[in-house]
Amino acid sequence: MGRVYLCLGKNAEVPYYFERARAHVWNIEELCYFVRENAWLLEPAVLGKELIDWVREQCALPDLARMLAAAMQEEKPVMGFVKALFYYTGYCSMEEAGQVEKILRLNESTSALERSKARGDYFLESKKFVLALQEYEELLQQLKGMEPSFLGKIYHNCGVAQAQMFWFEKAAASFERAWKLTKNEASARQFLAAKRLELGEVDYVAFLADHPDLYEASLQLEEQVQSCNDTWKQSEDAVFVLHATEALKDGAAHICRQMLQERLEPLQEAYRSCVVR
């Protein structure tokens, strides 16, 4: 049986919106969950007066609001805010609270650039590709003083997001910059994978002929492609395509269309979620 959380205060009439995370919270339990799951994002500017006023007015928790306001005056306001929140609500176990505090201590030792990259990485892992690119592009406007290895990681992750959105030409350019900055083999393979999807077979072969330095990476990529093909043949998607093809050959085009529609609808919804701004 999972933990049971005691509801405090009330649901807000107007949710609180965390702009950087593109997330709404409607009550104090959702705020606790957000803080626990997004500890890396927390900064004094994120936990400001507007949030405390929202706790007081929308959640009807004036005592907690006073505690949070006092915590924000401490030497380490973010740590104080989180401790006060979890103490008042009892939302987290001691172990969970300890993990959040550990992340907050790590945040104190990281730069604003590293925290910004962490936000982009969070969106990338959450498949919010447009939001990830927005974070990374803001970082890339601050090129001065960045280590090549750090910059290379940003370009690599830009390429991942762009490829997921089928922007293969842009993805190839990002992976190429990452590879040139870091000489990372994964970036080289991803660069070639994007070029392979961007170009036709003849043009891709010609491209490889002009880039002998990528020969080994191209061999590794072809091994990965073959492995993916073999895996796909055993997947549910392959079975679905087979059944749809058989329905079409049997003259049951309407069944084929129905099967495709049922399959496409959740994919379309997933894509819309990925590109939300």
Q: Does residue 1 register a pLDDT over 50?
A: no
**How many CA atoms, within 13 angstroms, populate the side-chain half-sphere of residue 23?**
18
Tokens (6 digits) for 116 = 């910004």
Q: Could you tell me what percent of the chain has a pLDDT over 70?
A: 95
Closest CA to 31 of 68, 2, 4, 63: 68
Q: Does residue 216 register a pLDDT over 70?
A: yes
Using CA atoms, how far apart are residues 90 and 66, in angstroms rounded to an integer? 17
- Please report the pLDDT score of residue 133 as a whole number: 93
How many H-runs (helices) and E-runs (strands) does the chain carry? 14, 2
What residues form DSSP beta bridges with 23?
A: 18
- Please report the pLDDT score of residue 4 as a whole number: 42
- Please report the pLDDT score of residue 275 as a whole number: 62
Work out the average pLDDT over 261-266: 78
| pTM as predicted | 0.68
Closest CA to 8 of 35, 32, 34, 28: 28
What would the pLDDT profile of 99-111 be if each residue is shown by its tens digit? Answer: 888 878 877 777 7
> Which range has highest mean pLDDT (93-97, 130-134, 155-159)?
155-159
Contacts of 3 (CB under 8 A, 6+ apart): 93
What residues form DSSP beta bridges with 145?
A: none
Work out the average pLDDT over 211-239: 88
Work out the average pLDDT over 20-37: 88
Tokens (6 digits) for 66 = 């006073």
Beta strands in the chain, from DSSP E residues, in sequence order: 16-18, 23-25
Report how far apart, in Å, the C-alpha atoms of 145 and of each of 136, 140, 149, 173 are. 16, 11, 12, 22
Using CA atoms, how far apart are residues 82 and 29, in angstroms rounded to an integer? 13
- Please report the pLDDT score of residue 274 as a whole number: 63
Displacement of CA 38 from its chain's centroid (Å)? 12
Q: Does residue 161 register a pLDDT over 90?
A: yes
Work out the average pLDDT over 58-86: 92
Using CA atoms, how far apart are residues 72 and 58, in angstroms rounded to an integer? 20
- Please report the pLDDT score of residue 256 as a whole number: 73
